[in-house]
């Protein structure tokens, strides 16, 4: 879905939502060989841009989300809400949908 | 669904419901180019008009909703209860269905 | 479903149920123009006639329903249990199914 | 389902169950006009014959059912467990399935 | 399902399960008239043979089952796990599936 | 599913899981008559080989499983995860899926 | 799904997730006979490489996962999120999906 906002930075996720942008695959392998276009699409790494204040436990207290802005994360193959701002694509996930943090 | 009320302001959402009106897309791009009618429909930004007093946690205490009247929010592609008052369209969402707040 | 009771007033909703009667649409627009029969059917406003004592939270304490007899409410497009008493139609909703209170 | 018990009074509902017998529709209208057989079948009023000791809340304490033997209640169009004793028909409902109490 | 145990008495139901044996319908009516074979099958009365120690509430405490060995109960039309021991048929129900106790 | 472990004894079930092996039906009846192969398959008795440390209640405390290694149990007709070690078949059940303990 | 990370060690599972790698079946039987390729695929043993910090109980406290890095586990036939790093295949499971620990 498209947004008319000037910058993605104006988006503040609600509850336990996490705003991420998929990392663009480099068009070469780890070994330095360049890949054809078709092979570079399916990378499931994303950079966290913003996180919500957390959902609620059963007593109405916030549970902090598991990641922070700047973190690199492994996102699931399917799911998330796609967003398009200035022709760039982003996604919103619930915190529990993120699979792993990728240490760099 | 249609309402015979004189003003949308007479609507007070119940529990965790949030009354919003979709922001009308400007018929030009961020760069100032005018867009044909067909391109301007899908904007998922909405203005919050009124919020409910919040749902209940398991102890029967209210959990305040995440947004306030005047906030601009990112709404999901599908869902919500459409309402029509004086030929204007509005929607009611549950608080947890709203995806993000849009800072201005 | 039909009831043989003499008056709708003898009905006391149980738990979190709310007894309402749909507001009959006036056969003219806000601007005063009379409407053909077919246009006046879909109004989703209802008057609350009676409310239950509330459902239970997880500790067995009652949670009061959100509306009171006399309130005007926005009801959902679908759902509710229809009742017919003396040829008048009424509906029973659970409290959380009601969308908004309509201030007058 | 049929039972071989001598009297319906030997049935003690368990947990939050309520034993009711549908009120037979009188074959005339409130205004005194006699109705053809086909019109008198759908009455959803029932007399409560016996109630269970109540279900449990999450702490294992009983929650009393909402009605008492002798109460007249509005039952839903569908649902309930039909029982036949000595050619009379009865039904067992869960307490929360009963829609309203009918004051007399 | 069949069991090779010598006696049904060796079965101790787990958690909130209740072991019952359906009461065989007498082949005559309450009034003493003998019934053809086909009419006597559907009786939903059963004798409780053994009960489990009860399921757990959310604090890990046992909730005692509602019936005791020797009780006569009304069982639902469908459901339960059928067991066959020495050509006799028995059933295991969860406590909350039993509809009513039949006082004798 | 197959395992390459040398002995089934190296398997330690997790959470509330119970490792069982179906009791092989004797090829003769209780009365001593030998049965054709086809009649001896459906026995739902199993021997408990190992149990998990228990699942968690809502406070994060363990709930012990209902059976112990060595117990004979009645298993349900369907369900469980089949395992094959050294051509012998075993199954893993959740504790609450076991129907009854069989006293010997 | 593919990842561009240099080493699987950079993956830190979130919440109650467990990162495992399936143990490669040896191409010979326990008795030392070599197996054709087709027979060695279905082994459901996996080595735990990394575990998440645990999910939350209803009070927002962490529940530790049941296994540790280095543990050998029995994984279910279906499920898990497959990951591919440097042409090696891994999977992420939720802690409660793992069936058993395999002691060595």
Give me the interface pTM, i.e. the ipTM: 0.82
Q: Which residues of chain G have pLDDT under 50?
A: none
pLDDT tens for each residue of E80-91: 999 999 889 999
Q: Please report, for the domain that includes residue D25, its CATH number.
A: 2.30.33.40
CA D54 to chain centre: 16
Q: What is the pLDDT averaged over residues F20-26?
A: 85
| Closest CA relative to residue C65, chosen from C43, C96, C87, C89 | C96
pLDDT tens for each residue of C15-24: 999 999 999 8
B33 falls within a domain? no
Given a contact cutoff of 8 angstroms between Cβ atoms, the answer to whether E6 and E87 are in contact is no
Phi, psi of C10 (to 5 degrees): -80, 0
3-class secondary-structure state, position B62:
strand
Whether F39 shows a pLDDT value over 60: the answer reads no
Q: Do the chains contact at F25 and E17, CB–CB below 8 Å?
A: no
What is the pLDDT of chain C when averaged over all its residues?
87
Give me the count of residues in chain D: 104
Between positions 43 and 82 of A, the ones with CB within 8 A of G are 43-45, 57-59, 61, 63, 66-67, 73-74, 76-77
> What b/e sequence results for D49-66 when a residue is b if at least 16 CB atoms lie within 10 Å of its CB, and e otherwise?
bbbbbbbbbeeeeebebb
d(CA E88, CA E22): 10
Contact present, C and D (at least 3 Cβ pairs less than 8 Å): yes
**Band of pLDDT at residue F5, cut at 50, 70 and 90:** confident
B71 falls within a domain? yes
d(CA F100, CA F45): 10
pLDDT tens for each residue of A23-79: 987 666 666 666 655 555 567 999 999 999 999 888 888 999 999 999 999 999 888
Q: Nearest CA to CA, how far is E17 from chain F (Å)?
A: 7
d(CA D19, CA D83): 9
Other Cβ atoms less than 10 A from the Cβ of E45: the count is 20
Residue B18: CA count within 13 A, CB half-sphere: 27
Q: Which range (B31-35, F7-11, G15-19) has the least confidence?
A: B31-35
pLDDT of residue G24: 82
Q: Do the chains contact at D83 and E63, CB–CB below 8 Å?
A: no
What's the structural domain count of chain B?
A: 1
Residue with tokens 């106790």: E101
Chain G CB contacts of A102 under 8 Å are 3, 5, 10-12
Q: Which range (B25-29, D35-39, G12-16, G81-85) has the least confidence?
A: D35-39
Rounded alpha-carbon distances, angstroms, from residue C83 to A9, C70, D77, D100? 52, 19, 10, 11
Q: Do the chains contact at C104 and B10, CB–CB below 8 Å?
A: yes
pLDDT of residue D76: 93
Q: Do the chains contact at C14 and D98, CB–CB below 8 Å?
A: yes
Q: What is the DSSP letter of C48?
A: E
Q: What is the DSSP letter of A45?
A: E
Domain that residue F23 falls in: 2-102
Say if strands E62-63 and E55-56 run parallel, antiparallel, or are unpaired: antiparallel
3-class secondary-structure state, position A66:
coil
| Closest CA relative to residue G51, chosen from G4, G97, G104 | G97
d(CA G76, CA B43): 43
| Closest CA relative to residue G82, chosen from G56, G38, G46, G32 | G46
G19: closest chain A residue by CA: A100
Beta bridge partners, G87, equal none
């Amino acid at each position: 879905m498209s947004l008319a906002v000037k910058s993605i930075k104006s988006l503040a996720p609600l509850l336990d939502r996490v705003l991420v942008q998929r990392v663009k695959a480099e068009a070469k392998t780890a070994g330095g060989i360049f890949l054809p276009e078709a092979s570079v699409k399916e990378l499931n790494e994303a950079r966290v841009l913003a996180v919500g204040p957390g959902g609620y436990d059963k007593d109405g207290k916030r549970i902090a989300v598991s990641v922070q802005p700047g973190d690199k994360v492994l996102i699931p193959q399917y799911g998330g809400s796609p967003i398009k701002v200035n022709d760039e694509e982003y996604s919103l996930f619930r915190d529990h949908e993120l699979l792993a943090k990728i240490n760099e």
